[in-house]
């Protein structure tokens, strides 16, 4: 069994009720539900939330709810703790789960194909623990990163000496792009105590395969500009790549 879960909490501090913002009369949550239902692999879809308005939207969309505790619904809550709560809930409900795919409630930039790419990747090899979508950095490469020092001036974030201005000379670097996280249930249970994964995403376990998507930054929504970019993606980009 392959299960998808949308994670969406209320009380947003950057953009109020961002998971419920509508583009073309569909909420962000509905776009994720559509993507999950278009997937040929997803057998069950859930949503994890504590928010009453999000629960009302989930009921309209006929998405079963995983009631998230208030202590896991804070602005500083670790996403991994939310995912562990999800895993515990689902493992009590189902005897056999192959994969769990986590979908963020504050992005519309996911398709059924993206979900299928992640799930099929994970199921294709017994050695693979997980898969996530990423984007390739060039202008945003870590070698170009800067910080503001105590005197208010810019300086290199990394102390690596002289850096070439030619971005093609850098080693390829990838960032998570807020698309699907798919992991094997057995891998999560095996490695959860170690809490070691790529970057801060420990729940992805040791062997995480990338699905590279064409884009230039993360795809989630935190401010009004992100909403406009999401609208552009839905209306003009979605079917192009």
Question: Which pLDDT value is given to residue 11?
Answer: 81
Model confidence at 132, pLDDT cuts 50, 70, 90, reads very high
d(CA 180, CA 4): 9
Quote the pLDDT of residue 15: 87
2 φ, ψ (degrees, to nearest 5)? -115, 120
- Which CATH number is 58's domain given? 3.90.550.10
Predicted confidence (pLDDT) at residue 35 exceeds the cutoff of 90:
yes
Whether the CB-CB separation of 14 and 221 falls below 8 Å is answered with: no
The continuous run of DSSP H or E covering 123 comes out as helix 112-123
Residue 225: Cβ within 10 Å count: 9
Greatest alpha-carbon span in the chain: 58
Per-residue pLDDT band for 74 (boundaries 50, 70, 90) equals confident
Structural domain of 12? 2-137+175-236
Is 216 inside any structural domain? yes
pLDDT of 224 > 70? The answer is yes
In a domain, 143, yes or no: no
- 66, part of any domain: yes
Structural domains counted in the chain: 1
pLDDT in tens, 149-184: 999 999 999 988 888 888 888 899 999 999 999 999
In a domain, 165, yes or no: no
Q: How far apart are CA 46 and CA 123, in angstroms?
A: 21
153 is a domain residue? no
127 φ/ψ angles, rounded to the nearest 5 degrees: -80, -20
Q: Give the count of alpha carbons within 13 A of 179, CB side only.
A: 27
How does residue 208 score in pLDDT terms, banded at 50, 70 and 90?
very high
> 194, 109 in Cβ contact below 8 A?
no
Q: 107-121, 199-213, 226-240: lowest mean pLDDT where? A: 226-240
Q: Does 166 map to a domain? A: no
CA 119 – CA 108 distance, rounded (Å): 19
Model pTM greater than 0.75? yes
Tokens 């953009």 appear where? 15
Does 241 map to a domain? Answer: no
- Opening angle at CA 26, ends 239 and 20, nearest 5: 120
How much is the pLDDT for 241?
Answer: 60
Q: What mean pLDDT do residues 59-87 have?
A: 94
How high is the pLDDT of residue 104? 97
Secondary structure class of 3 (helix, strand, coil): strand
In a domain, 48, yes or no: yes
Residues 6+ apart with CB under 8 A from 208: 128, 129, 130, 131, 132, 197, 198, 201
Query: Do residues 113 and 213 make contact, with C-beta atoms less than 8 angstroms apart?
Result: no
Please give the average per-residue pLDDT across 87-110, as a whole number: 96
Task: Please give the residue that has the higher pLDDT: either 237 or 114.
Answer: 114
| Whole-number average pLDDT of the chain | 94
- C-alpha 114/C-alpha 177 separation (Å) is 12
């Amino acid at each position: 069994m392959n299960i998808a879960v949308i994670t969406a909490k209320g009380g947003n501090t950057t953009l109020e009720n961002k998971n419920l913002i509508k583009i073309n009369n569909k909420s962000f949550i509905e776009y994720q539900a559509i993507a999950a239902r278009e997937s040929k692999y997803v057998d069950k879809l859930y949503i994890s939330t504590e928010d009453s308005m999000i629960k009302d939207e989930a009921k309209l969309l006929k998405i079963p709810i995983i009631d998230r505790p208030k202590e896991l619904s804070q602005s500083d809550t670790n996403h991994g703790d939310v995912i562990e709560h999800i895993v515990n809930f689902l493992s009590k409900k189902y005897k056999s789960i192959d994969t769990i795919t986590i979908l963020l409630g504050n992005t519309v930039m996911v398709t059924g194909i993206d979900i299928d790419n992640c799930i099929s990747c994970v199921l294709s090899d017994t050695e693979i623990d997980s898969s996530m979508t990423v984007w390739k950095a060039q202008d945003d490469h870590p070698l170009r990163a800067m910080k503001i020092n105590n005197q208010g001036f810019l300086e290199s974030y990394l102390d690596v000496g002289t850096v070439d201005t030619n971005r093609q000379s850098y080693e390829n670097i990838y960032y998570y792009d807020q698309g699907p996280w798919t992991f094997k249930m057995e891998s999560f249970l095996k490695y959860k105590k170690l809490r070691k994964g790529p970057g801060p995403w420990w729940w992805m376990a040791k062997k995480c395969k990338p699905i590279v998507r064409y884009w230039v930054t993360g795809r989630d929504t935190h401010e009004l500009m992100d909403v406009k970019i999401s609208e552009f993606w839905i209306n003009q980009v979605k079917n192009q790549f």
